[in-house]
Amino acid sequence: MKFLKHTLIFVSTGLFLVLFINYLLMPSYINQRSMIAIPNLEGLSVLEAESITKSEGIQVVVADTIFTNDINPGIILEQFPAAGREVKLGRAIKIKITQFNQKILVPELLGKTLRSSEIELDQIGINVDSVYYSYSPNYPKGIVSWQSPAPLDSIRKGFGVRLEVSTGLAPNDFITIPDLQGIFYSEAIKKINEMGLKEGSIKFVSQDKFLPNTVLNQNPKEGTKVSQNSSINLIISK
């Protein structure tokens, strides 16, 4: 009887120890082994960071890139989670690294409207830094008449371009009459208005050699210097 009692006590104690180890000690031990403190990666290159984290069972993932020429490329600026935090093995560390600014060719903007120039620059990652307005004898009102940097010069992504937009001719400037002969009446009127001139007298005549609404003659003639708002008289085929 006494032997049976001792046997039961021994078995009960052994069973308790097994349960204690399996359900309390082992999970705690395993959990501690599966956690690791995040190392400090800021200031290191990506290759250096990967050599450190690989042995620790941690992955490195580039989550963002900052373009700068002040720091060598491939340097880690920020990390998440922060250094010192404990995470599970296999956890990924997201990093923000540096990269040299990209250089982009500046497009030709002369002769385009300000709005179309802004859209074109935005599509390639260039900003409009500043816009100036001035008289121009060569470009109609609202058209880009000057740009800096010049067309096909290189500029780093994120930098700006300065533009000058024409406000038309100065009050005392003269206009050179364009050649309107041989073009359609509607096209001639559009060109006259764009140059700050006015439509004068219009005469329609029968003419078999030209299509209807073709400009046959003009007055003043091509190349004549006139003041702004001067009238141009046209003879049109009908």
Domain assignment of residue 4, yes or no: no
We report the CATH number of the domain holding residue 77 as 3.30.10.20
Whether residue 142 is contained in a domain is answered as: yes
What is the per-residue DSSP string for 208-222? Answer: SSS-TTBEEEEESPT
The number of domains in the chain is 3
Report yes or no on 179 lying in a domain.
yes
In a domain, residue 48? The reply is yes
Same domain? 42 vs 80: yes
DSSP classification of residue 25: I
DSSP letter for 93, please.
Answer: E
Q: Which of 46, 70, 100 represents a domain boundary (last residue)? A: 100
Mean pLDDT per 10-residue segment, the chain (238 residues): 54 55 51 73 89 82 81 88 82 85 87 94 89 89 93 83 90 86 93 88 90 93 87 93
Specify whether 138 is located in the same domain as 90.
Answer: no
pLDDT at 199: 92
pTM greater than 0.75: no
- Tokens standing for 194? 């764009």
Same domain? For 69 and 127 the reply is: no
Specify if 231 maps to a domain.
yes
pLDDT at position 36 is: 81
Hey, how many other C-beta atoms are within 10 angstroms of the C-beta on 62? 13
25 assigned to some structural domain: no
The position carrying tokens 């140059």 is 195
Dihedral (Cα; 48, 50, 53, 57), 10-degree rounding: -160
Q: Are residues 64 and 79 in the same domain?
A: yes
Question: Pick from 149, 166, 183: which residue ends a domain?
Answer: 166
Euclidean distance between CA atoms 152 and 105, whole angstroms = 5
Q: Is residue 18 part of a domain?
A: no
Contacts of the segment 144-153: beta carbons below 8 A, 24+ positions apart = 144/109, 144/110, 144/111, 144/112, 144/113, 144/114, 144/117, 145/110, 146/110, 147/106, 147/109, 147/110, 149/106, 150/106, 151/106, 151/107, 151/108, 151/109, 151/110, 152/105, 152/106, 152/108, 153/105, 153/106
Cβ 98 vs Cβ 74: under 8 Å:
yes
What pLDDT sits at residue 8? 52
Domain final residue pick, 61, 82, 100: 100
In-domain check, residue 144: yes
- pLDDT computed for residue 181 by the predictor: 93
Domain encompassing residue 213: 174-237
